[in-house]
Amino acid sequence: MIQGHQVRLRKLRDEDVDHHLRWRNDHEVAYWATGADPRFGPVTRPTLVRAFETMLKLDPLDARVFTVEDVADGRPIGMADYRDLDPFAGRVAVGLTVGEREYWGRGYGSEALRLLVRHLFEACRLHRIELETWSGNQRAVRAFVKAGFLEEGRRRESVLIDGRRYDRILFGLLRKEWDALR
């Protein structure tokens, strides 16, 4: 468990499937989390149960999914993950979704991201952490910048949402930058 002031990151459990099912079938959550990527949702319960079987067996040396909980009451409010951990290059990709709308814009996602970054830099001795979002998700862009990430590039007009094209934005944070922020 990784504890913060507002949130904690804990290991994924079987019973978390119900929260993930609700989040991934919430059009607004899917819209902001992935730019309405249909691979995120909507999703059926049997499909998600099969995906959970895989997620629960992930090798933490490569990838892991966490449940983000509100410290005050233990309520699951989102998910955070890392994947494609490359110990030789010292890099990993991360992701974060706050699925409970009433927690949006209140710093919960920013703290969850900072906790995940700290854990990965300290526990895995990484050199670089990266993540991406789409240019229409300004709340995510602000949270990433607030956590110290720098924009490194764009895949121009590579996201199509409701007939409109957006850029996919790549962000990175180097260990020396993170050290300087602390």
- Which pLDDT tens digits describe the chain residue by residue (182 residues)? 899 999 999 999 999 999 999 999 998 998 888 887 777 888 999 999 999 999 999 999 899 999 999 999 999 999 999 999 999 999 999 999 999 999 999 999 999 999 999 999 999 889 999 999 999 999 899 999 989 999 999 999 999 988 999 999 999 999 999 999 88
Say how far apart CA 69 and CA 140 lie, in whole Å.
19
Whole-number pLDDT of residue 77? 97
CB within 8 Å of 13: residues ≥ 6 apart: 67
Exposed, middle or buried: residue 27 (CB in 10 Å: 0-12, 13-18, 19+)? exposed
Whole-number pLDDT of residue 34? 85
Whole-number pLDDT of residue 41? 81
Q: What pTM was estimated for this model as a whole?
A: 0.92
Say how far apart CA 122 and CA 101 lie, in whole Å.
30
Whole-number pLDDT of residue 141? 93
CB 35 within 8 A of CB 164: no
Joined tokens for residue 64? 């892991």
DSSP-assigned beta bridge partners for residue 64: 82
DSSP H helical segments within the chain, as ranges? 17-24, 27-34, 45-56, 108-124, 138-146, 175-181
Whole-number pLDDT of residue 35? 81
Whole-number pLDDT of residue 39? 78
